[in-house]
């Protein structure tokens, strides 16, 4: 697509209707429809027939070298003289060198600037690492898996009431009450640019569709996030998710052998990040988290949790003490 023409049409978008819309869902519909219509015009979806996937390291420079090599080879076939052969051989060797360098650079870029998970995924695409054993006898239906994902374990009413009562009797910390503050456009922009995932949610809007014209979408997106925070409304469309079942074992035969992964709309994660940022600042400012909590905290991970446990065990051994560990594993944890 022509980026200059796309930016020109994005600049002409009028957001008065969005700002005057009475509820959050109407604002989301206007924003998403405007973005999709813009890209349907400049980058319409087309069906193409691909004989084989293009090499990811293939650049314009490599293509030009290959065309020059092939042109000189055709010249040699027409006139098999020493000079034509010399020119073709030099172009072929140069082309092979450029291709090797492009492959090396592609591998280096994907390994040096990726997370460990992305690195292993990339190496797997090259045929490196353990291959998954794909079972040819897959008898589970999608409805069975979906029923398992949407069914939560029942909680005893008395246990629930007793737990809530115990929580309500706990001493409340003497700190100011939390309240949301206004969200600045710089914070929204920082949140948008911090995400690297290109997964597309139920709204059919990708990260790249936002970042390509971010300067024209930043104001309406910020307006929607501020409206959502102050009214306490979360967009219905952003609650929709594509749920992908990932197997936890090599040959899954039961619904419990799958882990649900939800792909939510990209802008939904941006709103979540802005809300999380304010909540976490309040929690950190008044030290409301247990100092030993390792999950979902900057600078903490499973590594810090394991270091704490192994340190306690080693200290107990030195004091001639026995160590007992109680581990709790919740089945279907996120739905319980």
pLDDT greater than 80 at residue 330: no
Which residue has tokens 């009431």?
Answer: 161
Share of the chain above pLDDT 90, in %: 55
Q: Is the model more confident about 200 or about 122?
A: 200
- Cα–Cα distances (Å) from 53 to 56, 70, 107, 253, in that order, read 9, 21, 17, 33
pLDDT at 36 over 90: yes
Closest of 28, 8, 14 to residue 223, by C-alpha: 28
Are 217 and 211 spatial neighbours (Cβ–Cβ below 8 Å)?
no
pLDDT at 198 over 80: yes
Give the per-residue pLDDT at 333: 67
pLDDT above 70 as % of the chain: 95
More confident residue, 55 or 42: 42
Mean pLDDT value of segment 224-251 = 91
- Rounded to 5°, the CA angle 153-156-162 comes to 130
Report the mean per-residue pLDDT for the chain: 88
Q: What CA–CA distance (Å, rounded) separates 330 from 292?
A: 20
Instruction: Provide the pLDDT confidence category of residue 133 given band limits of 50, 70 and 90.
Output: low
Residue 130: what pLDDT? 63
Q: Report the distance separating Cα 211 and Cα 282, nearest Å.
A: 29
For tokens 């992964």, name the residue.
261
What mean pLDDT comes out for the span 182-205? 92
Which segment of 35-49, 126-140, 215-229 scores lowest on mean pLDDT? 126-140
Q: What is the pLDDT of residue 336?
A: 61
Are 264 and 241 in contact by the 8 Å Cβ rule? The answer is: yes
pLDDT at 137: 56
pLDDT at site 131: 57
Is the pLDDT confidence value at 195 over 70? yes
The mean pLDDT of 68-74, rounded to a whole number, is 93
Span between the terminal Cα atoms of the chain, in Å: 46
223/226 Cα distance (integer angstroms): 5
| pLDDT for the residue numbered 184 | 92
The answer to whether 15 and 56 have CB atoms below 8 angstroms apart is no
For residue 277, count other CB atoms closer than 10 A to its CB.
13
pLDDT class of 38 with cuts at 50, 70, 90: very high
- The tokens for 24 are 């959050």
d(CA 225, CA 99): 47
Please name every residue paired with 246 in a beta bridge, in sequence order, or none if there are none. Answer: 259
């Amino acid at each position: 697509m022509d980026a200059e023409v796309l930016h020109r049409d994005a600049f002409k978008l009028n957001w008065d209707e969005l700002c005057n819309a009475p509820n959050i869902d109407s604002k989301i519909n206007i924003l998403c429809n405007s973005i999709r219509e813009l890209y349907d015009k400049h980058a319409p979806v087309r069906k193409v027939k691909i004989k084989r996937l293009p090499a990811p390291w293939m650049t314009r420079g490599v293509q030009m070298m290959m065309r020059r090599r092939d042109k000189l080879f055709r010249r040699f076939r027409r006139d098999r003289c020493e000079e034509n052969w010399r020119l073709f051989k030099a172009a072929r060797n140069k082309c092979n060198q450029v291709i090797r360098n492009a492959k090396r650079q592609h591998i280096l870029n994907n390994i040096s600037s990726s997370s460990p998970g992305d690195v292993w995924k990339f190496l797997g695409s090259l045929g490196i690492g353990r291959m998954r054993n794909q079972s040819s006898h897959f008898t589970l239906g999608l409805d069975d898996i979906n029923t398992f994902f949407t069914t939560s374990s029942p909680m005893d009413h008395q246990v629930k009431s007793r737990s809530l009562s115990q929580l309500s009797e706990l001493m409340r910390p003497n700190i100011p009450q939390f309240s949301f503050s206004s969200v600045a456009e710089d914070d929204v922009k920082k949140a948008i640019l911090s995400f690297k995932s290109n997964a597309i949610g139920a709204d059919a809007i990708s990260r790249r569709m936002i970042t390509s014209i971010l300067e024209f979408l930043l104001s309406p997106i910020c307006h929607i996030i501020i409206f959502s925070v102050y009214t306490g409304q979360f967009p219905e469309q952003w609650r929709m998710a594509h749920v992908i079942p990932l197997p936890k074992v090599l040959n899954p035969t039961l619904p419990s052998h799958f882990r649900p992964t939800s792909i939510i709309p990209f802008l939904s994660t941006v709103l979540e990040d802005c809300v999380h940022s304010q909540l976490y600042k309040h929690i950190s400012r008044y030290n409301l988290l247990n100092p030993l909590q390792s999950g979902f905290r900057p600078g903490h991970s499973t590594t810090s949790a394991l270091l704490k446990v192994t340190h306690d065990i080693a200290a107990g051994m030195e004091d001639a003490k026995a160590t007992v560990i109680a581990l709790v594993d919740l089945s279907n944890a996120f739905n319980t």
